[in-house]
Amino acid sequence: MTGESAPEVTVVVPTFNEAPNVAELVRRVALASRDAAVEVLFVDDSSDNTPAVVRDVAATAPVPVRLIHRDRPVGGLSGAVVAGFRASEATWCVVMDGDLQHPPEILPDLIDRCRAGDVDVVVASRYIDDGSGAGLAGAVRRLVSAASTMLSRAMFPVRLRSCSDPMTGYFIVRRGALGLAQLQPRGFKILLEILTRNELRVAEIPFVFGARYAGESKANLSQGLHFLLQVASLRFGRMSRFAIVGAVGALVNIAMVALLTSMGVGYVVAAVAAAELTIIGNFLLQERLVFRELREEGKSWVHRFAQSFSFNTAETALRLPVVMLFVETMHLAAAVATAITLLAAFLLRFTFHSRVVYRPRASRRRERLEARPIRSRPDPARVHRDPGAAQGI
Ligand SMILES: Nc1nc2c(ncn2[C@@H]2O[C@H](COP(=O)(O)OP(=O)(O)OP(=O)(O)O)[C@@H](O)[C@H]2O)c(=O)[nH]1
Ligand SMILES: [Mg+2]
């Protein structure tokens, strides 16, 4: 491949502190990709010396190696993968972990299967034929992986019908088939997002998920919560995340009232204090988990907090008189009146937060509609630095 022509395949490797794996990964990718024009693109959010190691390896590698280092790791692992797709000019993009748990030796099989021309995605699956997830550290990790696979396939029986392993991080996708503007990368499971947002033709080949070559795992418990939120919002949209946060808030509210009254605080004071603390807690959670990608579109957090806090306080204060009105004038049962007002309050709250508190500015809304994959020209030095947010994710 010359510096001018685009490669056939970009191997996108998201990395977070994977310095000891870089050279071995590039060596094995180069060995495996005999007859294909392959480049390796590291999308790096590291705090260690991974970028320096990538630059060193790039200087002598037998295949082109590029680096995007993000100073702001927007969207975490999935955001990194999407940044890689956007910076690629290849027909096909492979996504591969940077710790060699995804064997580069099956690259030819993935690429050959694509060249047959009848598929958009080829998934390396641990769950067909002689594939295996043996390299996942510990029985609990294997169980969690199997359970989350089952859950997501149950939630998306049609879109995931041809995919036995939507949780895999190893696949090849036709870049032109990706609705890059629609992807809202979050969390660890980018393939799940790609398959559920697009109608794609999927094929699979088995692979054995290996043990880490070197370095430390970044998998942790909070990814479990993010996975559940990701599935819920892919299936039911942002409103379901709002509902989950609201439900958690309601439970905490009840627990706080119980705690405060058991400490001798009067029930009215306890109810008001618990309600206000819940409103603050909900705001913090919804900033992170519900409206995260809309936060920076024009307003300060103080402004958002003021709007959210006043709306919720007014709504909480008004709910009781409305219940009384329903019971006294329309003779509804108190429980029915409460249920109606709670449902109405939820819908009003969601609408107010989406349309007012986190309303995207008009220019950003236009940008979203017109968003195109951003292409970056290959750097002559084959390594470039990226300011992260400039990728527009
Ligand atoms: N760019 C980027 N890469 C990440 C981030 N988090 C994890 N990664 C990379 O994503 C890949 C998968 O992460 P791992 O920690 O290996 O997760 P895992 O394979 O599920 O867990 P193990 O089996 O314990 O290794 C690795 O290449 C990581 O370096 C991130 O926030 N940004
Ligand atoms: Mg790993």
In terms of Cα–Cα distance, which of 248, 250, 232, 154 is closest to 193? 232
How many A from CA of 169 to the centre of ligand 2?
A: 9
Which amino acid, residue 315?
Answer: E
Domain boundary at 194, 209, 230, which? 230
Higher pLDDT, 262 or 380: 262
Measured between alpha carbons, how far is 308 from 354 in angstroms, rounded to an integer? 11
Q: Return the CATH number at 25.
A: 3.90.550.10
Q: In what order do the strands lie in the sheet with 38-44?
A: 65-69, 38-44, 9-15, 92-95, 171-174, 121-125, 202-206
In terms of Cα–Cα distance, which of 230, 224, 111 is closest to 171? 111
Share of the chain residues as helix, strand and coil, in percent rounded to the nearest 5: 55, 10, 35
Tell me which residue range forms the domain holding 101.
9-230
How many A from CA of 48 to the centre of ligand 2?
A: 17
Residue 255 has pLDDT above 70, yes or no: yes
- The binding-site residues of ligand 1, defined as CB within 6 angstroms of any ligand atom, are 14-16, 18, 43-45, 73, 76-77, 80, 97-99, 101, 136-137, 169, 212, 217-219
Residues 307 and 356 sit within 8 Å (Cβ to Cβ): yes
How many A from CA of 312 to the centre of ligand 1?
A: 39
Question: Do 136 and 185 lie in a common domain?
Answer: yes
Residue of minimum CA distance from atom 32 in ligand 1:
77
Question: Do 207 and 270 lie in a common domain?
Answer: no
Looking at the domain assignment, is residue 101 inside a domain?
Answer: yes
Looking at the domain assignment, is residue 201 inside a domain?
Answer: yes
Indicate which atom in ligand 1 lies nearest the CA of residue 99. Answer: 27
Looking at the domain assignment, is residue 375 inside a domain?
Answer: no
Lowest mean pLDDT among 20-34, 126-140, 202-216: 126-140
Looking at the domain assignment, is residue 391 inside a domain?
Answer: no
Looking at the domain assignment, is residue 309 inside a domain?
Answer: yes
Question: Do 174 and 319 lie in a common domain?
Answer: no
- Ligand 1 pocket test, pick from 77, 81, 95 with the greatest ligand atom count within 8 Å of Cβ, gives 77
Which residues lie closer than 8 Å to 328 by C-beta, 6 or more apart? Answer: none
Question: Do 219 and 243 lie in a common domain?
Answer: no
Indicate which atom in ligand 1 lies nearest the CA of residue 209. Answer: 23
Ligand of minimum distance to the alpha carbon of 167: 1
Say which DSSP state 203 is in.
Answer: E
The region that residue 328 occupies, defined by phi over 0 for left and psi between -120 and 50 for alpha, beta otherwise, is: alpha
Which amino acid, residue 208?
Answer: V
The pLDDT of residue 13 is 98
How many A from CA of 77 to the centre of ligand 1?
A: 7
Looking at the domain assignment, is residue 330 inside a domain?
Answer: yes
Tell me whether strands 121-125 and 202-206 are parallel, antiparallel or unpaired.
Answer: parallel
| Crossing angle of the two packed helices 139-155 and 221-236, in degrees rounded to 10 | 10
- Ligand 1 pocket test, pick from 25, 68, 99 with the greatest ligand atom count within 8 Å of Cβ, gives 99
Confidence of residue 61 (pLDDT cuts 50, 70, 90): very high
In terms of Cα–Cα distance, which of 205, 192, 202 is closest to 128? 205
Q: Is the full-model pTM beyond 0.85?
A: no
Question: Do 288 and 207 lie in a common domain?
Answer: no
Residues 95 and 81 sit within 8 Å (Cβ to Cβ): yes
Q: What would you report as the CA-atom Rg of the chain, rounded to the nearest whole angstrom?
A: 24
Lowest mean pLDDT among 145-149, 205-209, 235-239: 235-239
In terms of Cα–Cα distance, which of 306, 314, 258, 248 is closest to 282? 248
How many A from CA of 257 to the centre of ligand 1?
A: 41
Question: Do 69 and 216 lie in a common domain?
Answer: yes
Confidence of residue 12 (pLDDT cuts 50, 70, 90): very high
Residues 100 and 29 sit within 8 Å (Cβ to Cβ): no
In the chain, where does DSSP find H-type helix? 22-32, 50-60, 76-87, 107-115, 139-155, 190-197, 221-236, 238-262, 267-289, 301-330, 334-352, 362-370
Say which DSSP state 21 is in.
Answer: G
Ligand of minimum distance to the alpha carbon of 218: 1
Confidence of residue 312 (pLDDT cuts 50, 70, 90): very high
How many A from CA of 367 to the centre of ligand 1?
A: 31
Residues 14 and 77 sit within 8 Å (Cβ to Cβ): yes
Tell me how many domains the chain contains: 2
Residues 379 and 39 sit within 8 Å (Cβ to Cβ): no
Domain boundary at 201, 230, 259, which? 230
- Ligand 1 pocket test, pick from 12, 97, 102, 221 with the greatest ligand atom count within 8 Å of Cβ, gives 97
Question: Do 219 and 277 lie in a common domain?
Answer: no
Looking at the domain assignment, is residue 381 inside a domain?
Answer: no
In terms of Cα–Cα distance, which of 301, 298, 277, 299 is closest to 287? 301
Looking at the domain assignment, is residue 387 inside a domain?
Answer: no
Residue 371 has pLDDT above 80, yes or no: no
Question: Do 88 and 193 lie in a common domain?
Answer: yes
- Ligand 1 pocket test, pick from 82, 167, 218 with the greatest ligand atom count within 8 Å of Cβ, gives 218
Question: Do 60 and 83 lie in a common domain?
Answer: yes
Ligand of minimum distance to the alpha carbon of 22: 1
Lowest mean pLDDT among 19-23, 59-63, 238-242, 272-276: 238-242
Confidence of residue 43 (pLDDT cuts 50, 70, 90): very high
How many A from CA of 209 to the centre of ligand 2?
A: 9
Q: Which residues pair with 123 in a beta bridge?
A: 171, 204
Measured between alpha carbons, how far is 52 from 260 in angstroms, rounded to an integer? 55
Residues 96 and 26 sit within 8 Å (Cβ to Cβ): no
Question: Do 205 and 314 lie in a common domain?
Answer: no
Higher pLDDT, 39 or 222: 39
In terms of Cα–Cα distance, which of 344, 71, 19 is closest to 214? 19
How many A from CA of 266 to the centre of ligand 2?
A: 52
Question: Do 213 and 244 lie in a common domain?
Answer: no
Question: Do 78 and 210 lie in a common domain?
Answer: yes
Domain boundary at 193, 213, 230, which? 230
